[in-house]
Structure formats: structure tokens, C-alpha cells
């Protein structure tokens, strides 16, 4: 099968039961996406699949042949971080950092959804970037350290 990961095409020979997360971590050595719960409940494994945020632990890699995957490693560099990465740095939107790659990928996907006008469970009228919207849209990404208060201004900064 073929995956395009962070702009690079990879030909992979995988067991059909291999999750997208395991393909990224074990076969491509891209360890930014974390295996937290392995049940799609924590969001630590969030990546962008054809521009949409997904829990990579729930997806079989073979079901996404030719897909374009963006991981935290593909968003920016240390010399030129993605605006969301910079926001998390500027606002200390992390503590231990385990969930941070998934939080950042999810936030990037969330802003795309918001720009496309997708409503959330708390949307009233036209979707806008309120604190309530950010909290609701990011609710699938958990942080054991509780750095949520700093993530909201980080996301807001990146959105600007």
C-alpha cells in the first residue's frame, strides 16, 4: 500500500490488521502521535487524514491507501513552527507534553472545521471561536496534566 505522510510517499507492506497509528510509529518511525488509550478515547494519537482530524488508533492503515497524512512532525520545524505549535509554546499549552502532538493536530483540524462552518454541540447560529466552542471542539483530546486553560489562548493566537 501507499501512504503520503508529511508530503513524502511511502510504499508499505503491512499486515491488514495494522492500525494507522502503528504504521506511523512502528513502520515509519514517526513517534509524535502517541498511543494513549488505544480505544479512541484520549486523542493522543490524533493526526490529519486528508486534512481532517482522526484518531489514528481506530483506523486500519490499509483502508487509507493513497491517503495524505499529516502528523505533528509535518506541521512545522523547530526553526519555523506551525502557528499552532508557536501558540502552544507562547502560552505554555502543555505540561508533560505527552498529549501535545494530538492536541495540536486536533486544534489545526478544528480550526479548519470552524472555517468551513461546521457546527458543534454548542454552536448557536454562525460558528465562532468562543471559549465554549474551543472547549467543545477539543473535548475529544484529554490532558492528564490539566493544561487546558493555556490551550485556549494558544488556539486563539493561532487562529488569528
The predicted-structure confidence for 40-93, as pLDDT tens digits, reads as follows 999 999 999 999 999 999 999 999 999 999 999 999 999 999 999 999 999 999
How far is the C-alpha of 56 from the C-alpha of 115, rounded, in Å?
23
Considering the domain architecture, whether residues 90 and 110 belong to the same structural domain is answered as yes
Considering the domain architecture, whether residues 153 and 91 belong to the same structural domain is answered as yes
Considering the domain architecture, whether residues 31 and 47 belong to the same structural domain is answered as yes
Domain range holding 102?
83-159
- Among the candidates 35, 57, 75, a domain finishes at 75
Q: Is the pTM of this model over 0.85?
A: yes
The strand pairing partners of 46, in sequence order, are: 55
Residue matched to cell numbers 507534553: 97
Q: How many domains does the chain have?
A: 2
- Among the candidates 54, 75, 96, a domain finishes at 75
- CATH number, domain of 68, equals 3.10.20.30
Amino acid at each position: 500500500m501507499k501512504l503520503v505522510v508529511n508530503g513524502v510517499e511511502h510504499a508499505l507492506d503491512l499486515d491488514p490488521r495494522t492500525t494507522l497509528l502503528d504504521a506511523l510509529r512502528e513502520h515509519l518511525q514517526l513517534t509524535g502521535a502517541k498511543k494513549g488509550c488505544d480505544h479512541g478515547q484520549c486523542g493522543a494519537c490524533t493526526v490529519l487524514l486528508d486534512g481532517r482530524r482522526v484518531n489514528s488508533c481506530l483506523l486500519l492503515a490499509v483502508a487509507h491507501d493513497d491517503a495524505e497524512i499529516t502528523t505533528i512532525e509535518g506541521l512545522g520545524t523547530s526553526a519555523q513552527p506551525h502557528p499552532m505549535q508557536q501558540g502552544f509554546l507562547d502560552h505554555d499549552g502543555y505540561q508533560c507534553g505527552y498529549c501535545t502532538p494530538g492536541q495540536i493536530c486536533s486544534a489545526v483540524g478544528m480550526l479548519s472545521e470552524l472555517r468551513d462552518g461546521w457546527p458543534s454541540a454548542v454552536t448557536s447560529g454562525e460558528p465562532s471561536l468562543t471559549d465554549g466552542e474551543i472547549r467543545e471542539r477539543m473535548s475529544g483530546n484529554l490532558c492528564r496534566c490539566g493544561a487546558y486553560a493555556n490551550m485556549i489562548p494558544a488556539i486563539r493566537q493561532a487562529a488569528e
